[in-house]
Amino acid sequence: MESTIPERIAVVTGSNKGIGLEICRQLLSKGVKVVLTARDEERGIAAVKKLQESGASDVVFHQLDVADVSSAEALGKFIQTQFGKLDILVNNAAVSGAEIEPQALTLSNQPGGGAFSSLLDMTLETHEKAEECININYYGTKRMCKVFISLLQLSQAPKIINLSSGYGRLKCIPGEAIRKKIANINDLTEERLDALVESFLNDFKEEKHKENDINWNTGTRTVEEGAKGPVMLALLPNDSPSGLFYCQTEVSSFE
């Protein structure tokens, strides 16, 4: 008897380019129906066209700005009406949280240039940029989970994949006090974490911190390699472990 795999629906945030677009491409190749989202409609539609031109058909576009709750709720309504459930939520959308001098990028493209760590010395980190970054990368992810949790609970194998970075590990947090509080996992409630995020932003005003971000095209891996881990996690069987930190496709320490 022929077994039919139930249709799986995925939402990928910030998927008009980069790793998000590649995650869409790889999920589509595994038979998942993908809702490609972008804050800018034109860029999103162009990305869908690109996937369709390379042979994918099970992809639709919906606008989504993760910083805007009404935009996230509109996407939630769309998914509910169109599919009645969600199987995979990939929280990929993010910004670097810093500005960089165009001259620094020119230097990084020269032979011997390009090291991400050296670019970090040339970034400008303002309170305004930090606030935008926290609103998109942290609260945006929370917003998405909140909007989609009830639709995910209607799936037979729900998955939430949060893209992070090696720079998200505890050892990259320079302030010892805040690092200790985040490491104290048994005491770390959602409210405490929110409070730590707010105190981090206050530190910014007083220039008490130092922080690192996305890479201005100086990455050492391709988007295909970057997308492989999130896609593998999105397609794991239902009884797989949850709440782990992965580096690529391997479980990794968060420290």
Ligand X SMILES: NC(=O)c1ccc[n+]([C@@H]2O[C@H](COP(=O)([O-])OP(=O)(O)OC[C@H]3O[C@@H](n4cnc5c(N)ncnc54)[C@H](OP(=O)(O)O)[C@@H]3O)[C@@H](O)[C@H]2O)c1
Q: How many residues bind ligand X (CB under 6 A)?
A: 26
Q: Is 63 in the site for ligand X (CB under 6 A)?
A: no
Tell me whether strands 59-63 and 123-124 are parallel, antiparallel or unpaired.
unpaired
User: Cβ-closest residue to ligand X?
Assistant: 18
- The DSSP secondary-structure symbol of 156 reads S
Site residues (CB under 6 A) for ligand X, limited to 185-214 = 214
Please pick, from the candidates 7, 40, 128, 198, the single residue that binds ligand X as defined by CB under 6 A: 40
Q: Which of 170, 169, 175, 147 is nearest to 160 (CA)?
A: 147
Q: Which of 176, 181, 208 is nearest to 192 (CA)?
A: 181
Nearer to ligand X, 43 or 192 (CB): 43
Token pair recorded at residue 53: 């031109």
Distance CA(12)–CA(26), nearest Å, equals 12
**40 — phi, psi (to 5°)?**
-105, 120
Please pick, from the candidates 127, 142, 219, 245, the single residue that binds ligand X as defined by CB under 6 A: 219
Task: Select the span of 25-33, 87-95, 142-150, 174-182 touching ligand X (CB under 6 A).
Answer: 87-95
Burial class (CB in 10 A: 0-12, 13-18, 19+), 48: buried
Q: Which residues pair with 124 in a beta bridge?
A: 99
Residue 5 CB, nearest distance to ligand X (Å)? Answer: 28
Instruction: Report the sign of the C-alpha dihedral through residues 101, 107, 109, 113, in that order.
Output: negative
Nearer to ligand X, 31 or 166 (CB): 166
Task: Select the span of 34-42, 105-113, 123-131, 241-249 touching ligand X (CB under 6 A).
Answer: 34-42
Q: Is 23 in the site for ligand X (CB under 6 A)?
A: no
Q: Which residues bind ligand X (CB under 6 A)?
A: 13-14, 16-20, 38-40, 43, 64-67, 92-95, 136, 140, 163, 165, 214-215, 219
